[in-house]
């Protein structure tokens, strides 16, 4: 029951992303990956998308846990990272993830990774086969908080949009990714209400 509910939640995250994305790489080609993960960054459920991203999202969130520290996540945080040595892919594949809290406790993460229409750098669209350094490819985020405790960092957002070629497209996709994460967060919190945090964790340990 719990495993299927988590899978349904991840699929709803996927639908939210597809229905609200502005970039055909996302809503047509489905160049993305979606996951719900426990508080240790272990995969609980995945939404349909590119299978290759499923191996990328757990270590991405786990890298964030190591860099930031569990105690420095707050309810309402939304983070960006595309650092290739964390994500395992090129920097156009940007990860957005959100810590999920229940009764003040960090219990899980909702996360997704999707190909942005542009990431800045020397080549439109982020396709740079002739680069000799990753920094030539565009903007690199390293577990940076776009939302801190639910408050938007407008300076950070403006910096991103000023440094990409298609700011409206990127902003639309970023909002779609945030909406997807929030969908997963609400669904996981509802399961915590219904079954309890410890039961959810214990059930998924059996599934593992």
Tokens for 51? 């299978």
Tokens for 198? 């410890």
In this predicted structure, what is the pLDDT of residue 126?
74
Cα(201)–Cα(44) distance, integer angstroms: 10
Cα(18)–Cα(13) distance, integer angstroms: 9
Q: Are 110 and 97 contacting, i.e. CB atoms less than 8 angstroms apart?
A: yes
The residue whose two tokens read 């996540």 is 73
| Residue 187 exposure: Cα atoms within 13 Å on the Cβ side | 26
In this predicted structure, what is the pLDDT of residue 132?
85
Q: pLDDT tens digits for 18-47?
A: 999 999 999 999 999 999 999 999 999 999
Q: What is the dihedral of CA 164, 165, 168, 174, to 10 degrees?
A: -40
In this predicted structure, what is the pLDDT of residue 51?
83
In this predicted structure, what is the pLDDT of residue 135?
85
Sheet hosting strand 93-102, strand order edge to edge: 43-47, 32-38, 105-115, 93-102, 78-81, 142-148, 151-152
Would the pTM of this model clear 0.75, i.e. be above it?
A: yes
Helix (H, G, I), strand (E, B) or coil at 93: strand
In this predicted structure, what is the pLDDT of residue 207?
82
* Per-residue tens of pLDDT for the chain, all 208 residues: 999 999 999 999 999 999 999 999 999 999 999 999 999 999 999 998 888 888 899 999 999 999 999 999 999 999 999 999 889 898 999 999 999 999 999 999 999 999 999 999 888 877 778 888 888 889 999 999 999 999 999 999 999 999 999 999 999 999 999 999 999 999 999 999 999 999 999 999 888 7
Residue 56: φ, ψ to 5°: -90, -35
């Amino acid at each position: 029951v719990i495993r299927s509910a988590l899978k349904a939640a991840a699929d709803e995250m996927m639908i939210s992303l597809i229905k609200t994305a502005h970039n055909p790489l996302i809503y047509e080609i489905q160049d993305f990956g979606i996951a719900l993960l426990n508080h240790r960054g272990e995969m609980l459920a995945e939404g349909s998308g590119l299978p290759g991203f499923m191996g990328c999202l757990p270590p991405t969130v786990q890298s964030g846990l190591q860099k930031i520290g569990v105690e420095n996540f707050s309810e309402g945080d939304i983070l960006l990272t595309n650092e290739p040595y964390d994500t395992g892919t090129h920097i156009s594949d940007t990860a957005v993830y959100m810590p999920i809290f229940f009764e003040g406790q960090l219990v899980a993460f909702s996360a997704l990774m999707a190909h942005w229409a542009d990431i800045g750098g020397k080549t439109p669209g982020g396709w740079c086969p002739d680069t000799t350094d990753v920094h030539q490819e565009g903007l690199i985020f390293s577990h940076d908080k776009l939302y801190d405790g639910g408050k938007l960092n407008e300076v950070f957002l403006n910096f991103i949009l000023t440094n990409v070629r298609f700011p409206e497209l990127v902003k639309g996709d970023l909002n779609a990714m945030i909406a997807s994460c929030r969908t997963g967060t609400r669904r996981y919190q509802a399961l915590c209400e219904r079954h309890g945090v410890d039961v959810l964790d214990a059930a998924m340990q059996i599934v593992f």
